[in-house]
Amino acid sequence: MKFPADYPYFVAAWILLCGLYGIVRSKHLVHMVISLTVVQSSTYVLLLAIGFRRGGYAPVFAGLHTGARVVDPIVQALMLTDVVVETTVVALLLAMVVKAYEKGGTTSPDDLRFLRG
C-alpha cells in the first residue's frame, strides 16, 4: 500500500476516524446516529476499492461478452444489501432517540444516566 497511488484505502480510514470523532464529540443523539452512518460508509469505500479493477467493466453481462474484464461482483453484492438495511437500522435508532427524549427529556448522550439495565 503506497500513499498517493492507493488513496482509496486511506480515504476509507479517514472517513472511519471522522465518524468515530463525531461519535466521541457528540452532544446530541441524532448527531451521534448520523456519525454512525458515516462510520458505516467507510466500509463501502474500502470494499469497493478492494474489488476495483482499472479498466474493468461493471459485472453485468447484458451486452458484454462473457470473459470480459470486470470488477469484483462479490464486494458489490456485500454492500448492496447493507445500504438498505442500514437505513432501517438508522430509523430504529432514531426511534430510540425519540423515546429517550420522551422518557428523559434530554437528547444529550452525556445525560442518559437515568437509563438502568
Partner 1 sequence: MKRSHRLWLFAVGALGMGFVYCAGARNLPPWGQYRGPYGDAIAQLAVYERHTTDTVNAVTYDYRGFDTLGEEFILFSAVTGVMLLLRPEKQDSGGKRDEKGGNPASFRDRAALSETVQMFTTAIFGFAVIFGIYMATHGQLTPGGGFQGGVILAAAPMLLYIAENTEAFQRIVSHPLVEFLEGAGAAGYALIGMAALAMGAAFLTNVIPLGTTGDVFSSGTIAAISACVGVEVAAGFTLIIFEYLREILSQKKNEEP
C-alpha cell at 11: 480515504
- Does 96 participate in binding partner 1 (rule CB under 8 A)? yes
- Does 103 participate in binding partner 1 (rule CB under 8 A)? no
Query: Least distance (Å) from partner 1 to the CB of residue 32?
Result: 13
- Does 61 participate in binding partner 1 (rule CB under 8 A)? yes
CA distance 37 to 56: 29
CA distance 1 to 49: 12
CA distance 35 to 63: 40
How many residues touch partner 1 under the rule CB under 8 A: the total is 52
List the one residue from 15, 33, 36, 51 that touches partner 1 (CB under 8 A).
51
Comparing CB distances to partner 1, the nearer of 73 and 114 is 73
* Contacts of 75 by beta carbon, 8 Å cutoff, 6+ apart: 47, 48, 50, 51
Nearest to 109 by CA among 7, 25, 29: 29
Binding residues for partner 1, rule: CB under 8 A, are 1-2, 5-9, 13, 16-17, 20-21, 24-25, 49-54, 56, 58-62, 66-67, 70-78, 80-85, 87-89, 91-92, 95-96, 98-99
